[in-house]
Amino acid sequence: MQCQAHYTIINKLGLHARAASQLASLALKFDAKVTLTQDDKSAEADSVLALMLLESSQGKEVLVQCEGPDAEQALIAIGQLIEAKFNEGE
């Protein structure tokens, strides 16, 4: 199965180390390949360093693509994490 959705990074600090770590940990819970794309850069969601290299700051839009048996569940969970501002409250 394959699915994708666009999300806007809304937390104040963007996809910094702590947020990237949360996203990578979440992605690893699913049997799915998760890729984030911003502009001309892509990153595997299970790599904190790759996610940080996207330089996703507040207001940037990312495309989340999931492929595999758990693709739909992974997409929903990652979307919820982004929309919850990575649980940072800002």
Per-residue pLDDT of 57-69, as tens digits, reads: 999 999 999 999 9
pLDDT of residue 30: 98
pLDDT of residue 66: 98
pLDDT of residue 89: 75
In whole angstroms, give the CA distance from residue 11 to residue 2.
27
What are 9's two structure tokens? 């990074």
Q: Give the pLDDT band of residue 88 (cuts 50, 70, 90).
A: confident
Tokens 């947020």 -> residue: 19
Give the H or E element holding residue 86: none
Q: With 90 as the cut, is the pLDDT of residue 90 above it?
A: no
Per-residue pLDDT of 4-51, as tens digits, reads: 999 999 999 999 999 999 999 999 999 999 999 999 999 999 999 999
Active site residues: 16
What spatial distance separates the first Cα and last Cα of the chain, rounded to whole Å?
34
In whole angstroms, give the CA distance from residue 3 to residue 86.
21
